[in-house]
Amino acid sequence: MTAADRIFRHHLHAPAVRYPARRSRMALWWITALSACALLLLGMWLATGMPAPRPVGPASLALALWVVVTCGALHWWWRNPVAVLCWDGIQWELQTVAQEHALCADVEILMDFQSVLLVRARVLGSPRVLWCLLEEKADPSSWADLRRAVYCRAHADPLLSGGSAH
């Protein structure tokens, strides 16, 4: 095997990596901004878009819907794990602050914004699913290794599960 082959093969395999998964301030900012815009639009609709004797039903329904959606988004943000996502070369593991360890069956990329990844991790042997918004600024020196591990594993899964490579 030549030196070039060794370098090429090294890039095919993702190194072990430990990456912090935190509640994203950026996500909280977006939730807050979108919620405020929706509330502003709701207020404008109530002030200008409804006939003179304003019916209480549609206004109450719209306000209740805003409250439910905003609370749901904040609940999602709060439930994001504060943990360390670990890849050892074979298996993903999520280690929480409370020293709970959850082996993950897989980590699936849902959205990739280059400096932010939204991933879904399924806990092994459980229907539980964890959503993690991983940001480059949490650990810039390990970001490339994390991306390599997530994408390397994503491309390897069909082969491991008995699927064909073509």
Say what the pLDDT of residue 36 is. 98
Percent of the chain topping pLDDT 70? 80
pLDDT tens digit sequence for 105-135: 788 999 999 999 999 988 888 888 888 889 9
State phi, psi for 130 to the nearest 5 degrees. -115, 135
Mean pLDDT of 39-59: 80
pLDDT tier for residue 166 given thresholds of 50, 70 and 90: very low
Mean pLDDT of 78-91: 87
Asked if pLDDT for residue 162 goes beyond 60, the answer is no
State the pTM of this model: 0.69
Tokens of 5: 């082959």
